[in-house]
């Protein structure tokens, strides 16, 4: 069994052994790729309706994965409890997804297929995801669109009444369905309405403003959770036959990210400390098109949808320190660096590549704006192109330039109006007049709890869905695939796969929350809260969070190296000690106290940060979003090491500052491994 015990002082890596650890069984069905899922789905054990009523399922989080899973499992007859820390399930951060959702419908007749979506996703993920899971994702993608339309999601449509599609990064077909720049909102509200329907019928019991603070494992199975009512501060015990973590990603470990302020790792981290292995924690997605940081007060970053790269052209001035406004720099003095470096995909290269290319130009001194940490995203060419098309549509062949520009702006407004408005509101600049300034920002985490084909973690009865798991996106996620995965897991995967576990639970009976493990776990949670409140140090949780974010961004961000990561691990350990001796949490635990909630989350982020750096340090290659400066080609492209690193890193928590690495070897039977090229 290949094992790496990570101890910082005596770190060793067993390089040539990638065989899968005996602790990890991915349970991918045998047989040809195309029939794995359909065969498995037809043979997975079922639970009869009378038994389903007696089986309880807890769902943590109500984003796309959680809301769709909770509603669907309740429709099937299970007794469901759903929890969210927000004041309503409709506020989960899936709501902020902008650009769209992929599906292999081939409505555009442009050569799309399930296989192509599967292939693009594996390649986009830089060959670090599991074939069986990704193919299943592609297979169910079409049903997601059908389901959403039936539920009343108002997708964008053509004049003929049929659904409209747009392009996204890393693909050469148009397979992205959208609702202006608010696709996530419309999909989440669709899933939320299905969830509220079940709440109204009493089949889902909804717990708003509740945060999961631990899981309860009895005799080796997950049997429930300890949750905290954020309004009253009371701790509650909830028992269940299965617990689904749909709690999203952990991008906020970087402090500044496009995640919501409340997005946190706590649920996943508690599960990790209770036995769930953490998969590929260092795989972070840095999104290329975000509004640049404007000052020290910055609390979060705002994404400008990748869909803008359909029509926007990215460039920097050819001269260093060119301070002219973008619209005054003539065409021949501009460097459209993505089109120059990657002619086949141009501005639509995948996110990791676009982000690194922006960083490269800025580091080389060609950045724009006051901070010099920005590049231009320019719509002038698209405005003119659309304007001419509109003129032709209206049969006007001698239109003036100003009319063409006015028509073009109207088209751009219809496609991206809300994004342009948002940009203007945040920066005070009008993107219809001057090019947008953008810079990469942390956006998504491909890593997450390790799960098998059934989406079960290494703790029996504990599942992870959506961004909370690691399974489908490898080392880099393609645009418009997060919404697809969240809904695939919730609507079409877990309702089937959970049967393979719950069919063996029908004789378990009701689980008592008086069990000693419930009592003990609740006590541990209570002690930690009391400890946080008792420290009464000098530094607020916010400041600790900001300091952690800076370490992570500087040393485990868009580019990483051995020395920086080693430093980061030491700095994070120091930060953790300082946190537990100097944090200042105001108020008490007996009423609504967001400061306490934040302190709890920051404490977990600090521990996660250490593991991310350890993971990045042990992966001696560059792949997808993980770019190790030591491993790059002469042209600065990422250099994968398939011979030694074609595996999933699944980390087992062994104690403070101690983890054990288990490897799941990735086997590609249907795809030819190639150096990823978008040139």
Partner 1 sequence: MEGNMSLSLKVWRQSNKETAGGFENYKLDSVSPDMSFLEMFDVLNEQLIEEGKEPVAFDHDCREGICGSCSMYINGRPHGPLRGVTVCQLHMRSFNDGDTIVVEPWRAQAFPVIKDLVVDRDAFDRVISAGGFVSVNTGNAQDANSLPVPKEAADDAFSAAACIGCGACVAACKNASAMLFVSAKISQLALLPQGQAERSIRAEKMVAQMDAEGFGACTNTGACSAECPKEISMENIARMNREYIGAKFSSSAV
Interacting positions 493-512 with partner 1 (CB under 8 A)? 495
Element (H, E) at 287: strand 284-290
CA–CA separation, 303 and 169 (whole Å): 15
Rounded to a whole number of angstroms, the minimum distance from the CB of residue 212 to partner 1 is 17
Q: Reduced to 3 DSSP states, what percent helix, strand and coil does the chain have, rounded to the nearest 5?
A: 40, 15, 40
Rounded to a whole number of angstroms, the minimum distance from the CB of residue 185 to partner 1 is 6
Rounded to a whole number of angstroms, the minimum distance from the CB of residue 84 to partner 1 is 11
Rounded to a whole number of angstroms, the minimum distance from the CB of residue 137 to partner 1 is 16
List the interface residues with partner 1, window 463-492 (CB under 8 A): 491-492
Rounded to a whole number of angstroms, the minimum distance from the CB of residue 537 to partner 1 is 11
- Contact between 429 and partner 1 (CB under 8 A)? no
**Whose CA is closest to 490, among 134, 197, 200, 59?**
59
CA–CA separation, 216 and 239 (whole Å): 8
**Whose CA is closest to 81, among 185, 214, 195?**
195
Find out whether 575 and 548 touch, Cβ atoms under 8 Å: yes
Task: Give me the half-sphere count of Cα atoms (radius 13 Å) on the Cβ side of residue 400.
Answer: 3
Question: Residues in contact with partner 1, total (CB under 8 A)?
Answer: 83
Q: Quick one: 345 or 423, whose CB is closer to partner 1?
A: 423
Helix (H, G, I), strand (E, B) or coil at 662: strand
Q: Quick one: 601 or 653, whose CB is closer to partner 1?
A: 601
Rounded to a whole number of angstroms, the minimum distance from the CB of residue 140 to partner 1 is 11
Q: Position of tokens 């009701």?
A: 510
Q: Quick one: 58 or 153, whose CB is closer to partner 1?
A: 153
Q: Position of tokens 């029996």?
A: 460
Task: Give me the half-sphere count of Cα atoms (radius 13 Å) on the Cβ side of residue 2.
Answer: 22
Rounded to a whole number of angstroms, the minimum distance from the CB of residue 73 to partner 1 is 9
Find out whether 157 and 507 touch, Cβ atoms under 8 Å: no
CA–CA separation, 421 and 22 (whole Å): 53
13, 44, 46, 163: which one binds partner 1 (CB under 8 A): 163
Q: Quick one: 146 or 524, whose CB is closer to partner 1?
A: 146
Q: Quick one: 182 or 458, whose CB is closer to partner 1?
A: 182
Q: Quick one: 295 or 509, whose CB is closer to partner 1?
A: 295
134, 137, 148, 358: which one binds partner 1 (CB under 8 A): 148
- Contact between 636 and partner 1 (CB under 8 A)? no
- Contact between 578 and partner 1 (CB under 8 A)? no
List the interface residues with partner 1, window 229-248 (CB under 8 A): 231
Q: Quick one: 33 or 145, whose CB is closer to partner 1?
A: 145
CA pseudo-torsion sign 349, 353, 356, 360: negative
List the interface residues with partner 1, window 366-395 (CB under 8 A): none
Find out whether 241 and 56 touch, Cβ atoms under 8 Å: yes
Rounded to a whole number of angstroms, the minimum distance from the CB of residue 18 to partner 1 is 38
- Contact between 592 and partner 1 (CB under 8 A)? yes
397, 425, 509, 634: which one binds partner 1 (CB under 8 A): 425
70, 117, 137, 145: which one binds partner 1 (CB under 8 A): 145
Rounded to a whole number of angstroms, the minimum distance from the CB of residue 64 to partner 1 is 13
The pair of structure tokens assigned to 17 is: 């052994």
Task: Give me the half-sphere count of Cα atoms (radius 13 Å) on the Cβ side of residue 597.
Answer: 25
- Residue 580 buriedness (CB in 10 A; 0-12 / 13-18 / 19+): middle
Rounded to a whole number of angstroms, the minimum distance from the CB of residue 598 to partner 1 is 10
DSSP state of 546: H
CA–CA separation, 463 and 243 (whole Å): 6
- Contact between 294 and partner 1 (CB under 8 A)? yes
Give CA separation, 150 vs 144, 145, 147, 155, in Å.
10, 9, 5, 11
The pair of structure tokens assigned to 70 is: 């909770």
CA–CA separation, 148 and 127 (whole Å): 30
Helix (H, G, I), strand (E, B) or coil at 666: coil
Q: Quick one: 292 or 408, whose CB is closer to partner 1?
A: 292
The torsion angle over the Cα atoms of residues 407, 408, 414 and 418, rounded to 10 degrees, is -120
List the interface residues with partner 1, window 72-111 (CB under 8 A): 72, 75, 86-91, 93, 95-96, 105, 107
List the interface residues with partner 1, window 3-62 (CB under 8 A): none
Q: Which stretch binds partner 1 (CB under 8 A): 148-156, 353-361, 449-457, 640-648?
A: 148-156
List the interface residues with partner 1, window 296-335 (CB under 8 A): 296-300, 302-303
- Contact between 143 and partner 1 (CB under 8 A)? yes
Find out whether 301 and 287 touch, Cβ atoms under 8 Å: no
Helix ranges (DSSP H) in 336-400 = 337-341, 351-363, 380-393
CA–CA separation, 556 and 658 (whole Å): 19
Residues 6+ apart with CB under 8 A from 672: none
Q: Quick one: 342 or 423, whose CB is closer to partner 1?
A: 423
- Contact between 590 and partner 1 (CB under 8 A)? no
Rounded to a whole number of angstroms, the minimum distance from the CB of residue 605 to partner 1 is 17
- Contact between 584 and partner 1 (CB under 8 A)? yes
Residues 6+ apart with CB under 8 A from 396: 403
Q: Quick one: 333 or 414, whose CB is closer to partner 1?
A: 414
Give CA separation, 177 vs 187, 230, 580, in Å.
11, 37, 47
Q: Quick one: 32 or 428, whose CB is closer to partner 1?
A: 428
Rounded to a whole number of angstroms, the minimum distance from the CB of residue 678 to partner 1 is 29
Q: Quick one: 161 or 655, whose CB is closer to partner 1?
A: 161
**Whose CA is closest to 464, among 454, 475, 474, 473?**
454
Rounded to a whole number of angstroms, the minimum distance from the CB of residue 595 to partner 1 is 6
List the interface residues with partner 1, window 513-552 (CB under 8 A): 540, 542-543
Per-residue x/- track, 174-203, partner 1 (CB under 8 A): -----xx-x-xxx--x--xxx-xx-xx---
Q: Which stretch binds partner 1 (CB under 8 A): 69-77, 523-531, 548-556, 630-638?
A: 69-77
623 forms beta bridges with 626
Q: Which stretch binds partner 1 (CB under 8 A): 294-302, 463-471, 559-567, 663-671?
A: 294-302
List the interface residues with partner 1, window 259-288 (CB under 8 A): 260-262
Chain Cα centroid distance, residue 505 = 32
208, 371, 503, 620: which one binds partner 1 (CB under 8 A): 208
Q: Quick one: 146 or 658, whose CB is closer to partner 1?
A: 146
Rounded to a whole number of angstroms, the minimum distance from the CB of residue 261 to partner 1 is 6
**Whose CA is closest to 384, among 291, 313, 450?**
313
Residues 6+ apart with CB under 8 A from 164: 155, 156, 157, 158, 177, 178
594, 630, 633, 677: which one binds partner 1 (CB under 8 A): 594
Rounded to a whole number of angstroms, the minimum distance from the CB of residue 405 to partner 1 is 24
- Contact between 417 and partner 1 (CB under 8 A)? no
């Amino acid at each position: 069994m290949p094992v790496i015990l990570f101890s910082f002082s005596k770190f060793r890596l067993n390089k040539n052994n990638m065989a899968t650890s005996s602790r990890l069984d991915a349970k991918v069905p045998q047989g040809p790729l195309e029939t794995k899922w359909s065969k498995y789905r037809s043979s997975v054990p079922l639970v009869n309706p009378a038994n389903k009523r007696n089986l309880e399922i807890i769902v943590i989080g109500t984003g796309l994965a959680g809301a769709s899973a909770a509603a669907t499992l309740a429709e099937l007859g299970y007794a469901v409890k759903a929890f969210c820390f927000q004041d309503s399930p409709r506020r989960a951060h899936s709501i902020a997804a902008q650009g769209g959702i992929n599906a292999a419908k081939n409505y555009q007749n442009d050569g799309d297929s399930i296989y192509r979506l599967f292939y693009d996703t594996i390649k986009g993920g830089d060959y670090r995801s599991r074939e069986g899971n990704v193919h299943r994702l592609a297979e169910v993608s079409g049903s997601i669109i059908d389901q959403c339309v039936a539920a009343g999601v108002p997708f964008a449509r053509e004049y003929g009444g049929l659904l409209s599609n747009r392009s996204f990064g890393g693909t050469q077909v148009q397979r992205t369905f959208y609702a202006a720049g608010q696709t996530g909102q419309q999909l989440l509200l669709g899933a939320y309405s299905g969830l509220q329907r079940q709440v109204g019928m009493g089949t889902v019991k909804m717990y708003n403003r509740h945060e999961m603070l631990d899981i309860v494992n009895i005799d080796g199975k997950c049997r429930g959770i300890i949750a905290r009512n954020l309004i009253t501060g009371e701790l509650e015990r909830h028992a269940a036959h299965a617990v689904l973590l749909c709690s999203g990603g952990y991008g906020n470990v970087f402090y500044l990210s496009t995640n919501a302020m409340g997005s946190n790792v706590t649920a996943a981290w508690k599960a990790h400390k209770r036995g769930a292995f953490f998969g590929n924690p260092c795989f972070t997605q840095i999104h290329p098109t975000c509004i640049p940081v404007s000052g020290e007060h910055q609390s979060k970053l705002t994404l400008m949808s990748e869909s803008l790269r359909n029509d926007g052209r990215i460039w920097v001035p050819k001269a260093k320190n060119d301070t002219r406004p973008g619209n005054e720099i003539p065409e021949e003095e501009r460097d459209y660096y993505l089109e120059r470096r990657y002619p086949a995909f141009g501005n639509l290269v995948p996110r990791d590549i676009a982000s690194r290319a922006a960083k490269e130009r800025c580091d080389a001194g060609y950045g724009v704006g006051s901070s010099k940490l920005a590049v231009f995203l320019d719509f002038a060419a698209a405005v003119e192109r659309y304007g001419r098309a509109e003129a032709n549509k209206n049969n006007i062949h001698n239109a003036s330039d100003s009319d063409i520009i006015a028509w073009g702006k109207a088209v751009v407004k219809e496609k991206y109006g809300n994004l342009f408005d948002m940009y203007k509101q945040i920066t005070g600049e009008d993107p219809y007049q001057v090019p947008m300034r953008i810079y990469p920002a942390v956006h998504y985490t491909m890593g997450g709890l390790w799960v098998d084909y059934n989406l079960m973690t290494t703790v029996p009865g504990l599942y992870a869905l959506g961004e909370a798991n690691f399974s489908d996106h490898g080392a880099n996620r393609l645009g418009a695939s997060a919404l697809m995965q969240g809904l695939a897991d919730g609507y079409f995967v877990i309702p089937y796969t959970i049967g393979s576990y719950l069919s063996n639970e029908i004789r378990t009976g009701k689980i008592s929350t008086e069990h000693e493990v419930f009592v003990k776990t609740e006590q541990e949670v209570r002690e930690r809260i009391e400890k946080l409140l008792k420290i009464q140090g000098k530094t607020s949780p916010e400041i600790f969070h900001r300091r952690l974010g800076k370490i992570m961004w500087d040393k485990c961000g868009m580019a990483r190296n051995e020395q920086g990561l080693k430093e980061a691990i030491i700095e994070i350990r120091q930060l953790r000690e300082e946190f537990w001796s100097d944090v200042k949490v105001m108020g008490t635990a007996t009423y609504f106290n967001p400061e306490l909630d934040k302190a709890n989350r920051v404490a977990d982020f600090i521990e996660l940060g250490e593991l991310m750096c350890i993971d990045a340090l042990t992966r001696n290659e560059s792949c997808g979003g993980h770019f190790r400066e030591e491993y790059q080609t002469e042209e600065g492209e990422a250099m994968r090491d398939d011979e030694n690193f074609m595996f999933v890193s699944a980390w087992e928590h062994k104690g403070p500052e101690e983890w054990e690495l288990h490897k799941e070897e990735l086997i590609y039977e249907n795809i030819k491994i190639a150096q990823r090229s978008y040139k």
